[in-house]
Amino acid sequence: MKAYLFPGQGSQFPGMGKDLWDKSNSARDFFEQANDEMGFDICKVMFEGSAEELKQTLITQPAIYLYTVILTRDSRDFKPDVVAGHSLGEFAALAAVRSLPFFEGLRLVKLRAEAMQKACDAAPSGMAAVLGMEDHMIVDIIDRITEETVVVANYNCPSQVVISGSEAGLKLAEERLEDAGARRVLRLRTVAGAFHSPLMEKAREEVAEAVAKARIKKPTVPVYQNASATPTQDPEVIRENLMQHMTSPVRWTETIQNMITDGVESFVEIGERQILQGMVKRIDKRAVTKNLMVV
The residues annotated with a catalytic role in the active site are 87, 196
Which is nearest to 191 in space by CA: 110, 280, 119? 119
Give yes or no for a contact between 8 and 252, defined as CB atoms under 8 angstroms apart: no
Yes or no: say if 229 and 84 are a contact pair by the CB < 8 Å rule. no
Give the CA radius of gyration of the chain.
18
DSSP-assigned letter for residue 198: G
Tell me the residue type at 196: H
Phi, psi of 213, deg, nearest 5: -100, -5
Beta bridge partners of 160: 131, 157
Show the DSSP H helices in the chain as ranges: 18-23, 25-38, 42-48, 51-54, 57-74, 89-96, 102-122, 135-143, 167-179, 201-213, 235-244, 252-261, 275-283
Distance, CA of 41 to CA of 245 (rounded, Å): 28
